[in-house]
Amino acid sequence: MPYTADAHHRPTSEQLRARIPGWGADLDRADRPSVPKERTDLTTGAHWTIPERQPELQPRERSIEHGMLPPVFGTTAPLHGVSGLVRRFAYERFSEARAAHWLLLILGDRIDVVGSRVQGVLQGRPDNPITETGIRAEIGNRPIASRFGRGRADVNHTWMDPLIVIGPTAVVVAALVIRARRR
């Protein structure tokens, strides 16, 4: 079959308009909300030129690609502990363009998990793998029928998930056991 300049076989616009609610309502490309991409005629509700500066009650890490701390920022979960040291180093030393920046932040995330496990135990609220993984949702929600015999591509690798879930806990337990034995 030769390749031609004809369009593919498709239903006519009239057929589509009759079958699909709203077909072609936004046909005019110039009349779509994000067209053109950049518009300067939109009103936002802002009544400032620059937002007032949010008080920086404790030192706030920032990307070195920012010339200054932006005026508004989130304050949840400030840097702390060893994970905080790793994260702060990632922010202060490497730009977003560097893989080291992101890999260190991921390392900080894993250290944070281990630290939080220990902290949870010390605070009397240890992590509960049954309730926190939501595994109880398996009950009554067709765990077998949902997964098998349906050609799901993700079933090939879900066996790895428990390793990811229990990995940090296993590392902490192993470290504590080794330390106890040395004593």
Partner 1 sequence: MKAMVYRGPYKVRVEEKDIPRIEHPGDAIVRVTRAAICGSDLHLYHGMMPDTRIGTTFGHEFIGVVHEVGSSVQNLKPGDRVMVPFNIYCGTCYFCAKGLYSNCHNVNPNATAVGGIYGYSHTCGGYDGGQAEYVRVPLADVGPSIIPDWLHEEDALMMTDALATGYFGAQLGDIVEGDTVVVFGAGPVGLFAARSAWLMGAGRVIVIDHLDYRLQKAREFAYAETINFTEVNDIVVELKKQTDWLGADVVIDAVGAEADGNLLQHVTAAKVKLQGGSPIALNWAIDAVRKAGTVAVVGAYGPLFSAVKFGDAMNKGLTIRTNQAPAKRQWPRLLEHIQAGHLSPRDIITHRIPLEHIAEGYHLFSAKLDDCIKTVVTTD
Tokens read off for 179: 């330390």
Residue partners of 88: CB distance under 8 A and separation at least 6: 61, 79
Q: Does 85 bind partner 1 (CB under 8 A)?
A: no
Residue partners of 17: CB distance under 8 A and separation at least 6: 23, 24
Q: Does 124 bind partner 1 (CB under 8 A)?
A: no
Residue 12 DSSP code: -
Q: Does 108 bind partner 1 (CB under 8 A)?
A: yes
Which residues between 125 and 154 bind partner 1 (CB under 8 A)?
A: 127-129, 131-138, 141-143, 146-147, 150-154
Taking the C-alpha atoms of residue 133 and residue 161, their distance in angstroms, rounded to an integer, is: 11
- Which residue of 30, 58, 99, 178 would you call a contact of partner 1, by CB under 8 A? 99
Residue 155 DSSP code: G
Closest distance to partner 1 from the beta carbon of 173 (Å): 14
- Which residue of 8, 181, 182, 183 would you call a contact of partner 1, by CB under 8 A? 8
Nearer to partner 1, 71 or 85 (CB): 71
